[in-house]
Structure 1
Amino acid sequence: MDQIRWIIMSSFLMLLVQFTAARTFFYPIVKVGDDVTLSCENGMDDQDQCEGVVWYFVNPRNKGLTLFEHGQIQAKSDRLSVTENCSLVIKNVKHDDVGRYDCGHFRSGKLHGEDTVTALYVVSMTEQKDDDTVTLVCSVSGYNINCFHTVSWRYGETDVGVTQGSCSAIVLFLTQSHLNPKFYELLKCKVTPKDSGNVQLFSFSPPQSSSEKPGDDATTTISPTAN
Structure 2
Amino acid sequence: MDELKQIKKSSLLILLLQFTGAAIGQRDLYLSVRVGDEATLPCNSVRHDQGECNGTTWLFSVSRSTVMLVKGGQISNHAHSDTLRLTDKCSVVVKKVTEEDVGSYTCRQYNKADQQQGRDSLVLLSVVTMTEHQVNDEVTLRCSVTTRVGCRHTVKWLLQGRDVDKDNKDIKTSASDCSASVTFPTSHYGSTQRSELFTCEVTADGHNVQTFRPQSSDGDDQAATTTTTNTSGHINNQVWWLYLVLALVLVALLITIVAFITWKKMKGTEARESDSDVRCDVEDDTVNYDNIRPPDGV
The answer for the alignment partner of 1:9 in structure 2 is none
Give the one of 106, 112, 133 matched to 2:138. Answer: 133
d(CA) in 2 for partners of 1:157, 1:86: 35
TM-score with structure 1 setting the length:
0.71
The answer for the alignment partner of 1:34 in structure 2 is 37
The answer for the alignment partner of 1:17 in structure 2 is none
Say whether residues 1:155 and 2:165 are aligned partners: no
| Structure 1 pair 191–163 and aligned structure 2 pair: CA distance change class (3 A) | farther
Q: Which amino acid aligns with 2:132?
A: E
Cα deviation digits, residues 90-146 of structure 1 (max 9, x gap): 22222222211001122333212332111123221112233433322101222312x
Max radius of gyration: which structure? 2
Give the one of 99, 113, 119 matched to 2:118. Answer: 113
Cα deviation digits, residues 152-203 of structure 1 (max 9, x gap): 111214433433222100112332699341232111101223532x543211
Map of 1:1-227 to 2, 5 A cutoff? 23=26, 25-59=28-62, 61-74=63-76, 75-107=79-111, 108-145=113-150, 147-160=151-164, 161-175=172-186, 179-196=190-207, 199-208=209-218
Unaligned ranges ≥5, structure 1: 1-19, 213-227
d(CA) in 2 for partners of 1:66, 1:41: 18
Unaligned ranges ≥5, structure 2: 1-21, 165-171, 221-298
Secondary structure at the aligned position of 1:119 is classed as: strand
User: Is 1:82–1:88's contact at 8 Å kept on the other side of the alignment?
Assistant: yes
d(CA) in 1 for partners of 2:121, 2:205: 22
Secondary structure at the aligned position of 1:184 is classed as: helix
Secondary structure at the aligned position of 1:27 is classed as: strand
Q: Which amino acid aligns with 2:120?
A: D
Secondary structure at the aligned position of 2:148 is classed as: coil
Alpha-carbon distance, 1:148 to partner = 1.9
| Structure 1 pair 71–188 and aligned structure 2 pair: CA distance change class (3 A) | same
d(CA) in 2 for partners of 1:153, 1:202: 10
TM-score with structure 2 setting the length:
0.55
d(CA) in 2 for partners of 1:154, 1:177: 16
Secondary structure at the aligned position of 1:28 is classed as: strand
Secondary structure at the aligned position of 1:182 is classed as: helix
Cα deviation digits, residues 67-108 of structure 1 (max 9, x gap): 112332221142210011211112222222221100112233
Q: Which runs of 4+ in 1 moved over 4 A?
A: 20-24
Count of residues paired in the alignment: 188
Structure with the higher helix share, 1 or 2: 2
Q: Which amino acid aligns with 1:201?
A: T
Further displaced range: 155-164 or 47-56: 155-164
| Structure 1 pair 180–38 and aligned structure 2 pair: CA distance change class (3 A) | closer
Alpha-carbon distance, 1:53 to partner = 1.4
Q: Kindly, what percent of the aligned residue pairs are identical?
A: 38
| Structure 1 pair 178–186 and aligned structure 2 pair: CA distance change class (3 A) | closer
| Structure 1 pair 62–156 and aligned structure 2 pair: CA distance change class (3 A) | same
User: Is 2:46–2:56's contact at 8 Å kept on the other side of the alignment?
Assistant: no
Q: Which amino acid aligns with 1:64?
A: T
| Structure 1 pair 85–181 and aligned structure 2 pair: CA distance change class (3 A) | same
d(CA) in 1 for partners of 2:60, 2:218: 35
| Structure 1 pair 153–113 and aligned structure 2 pair: CA distance change class (3 A) | same
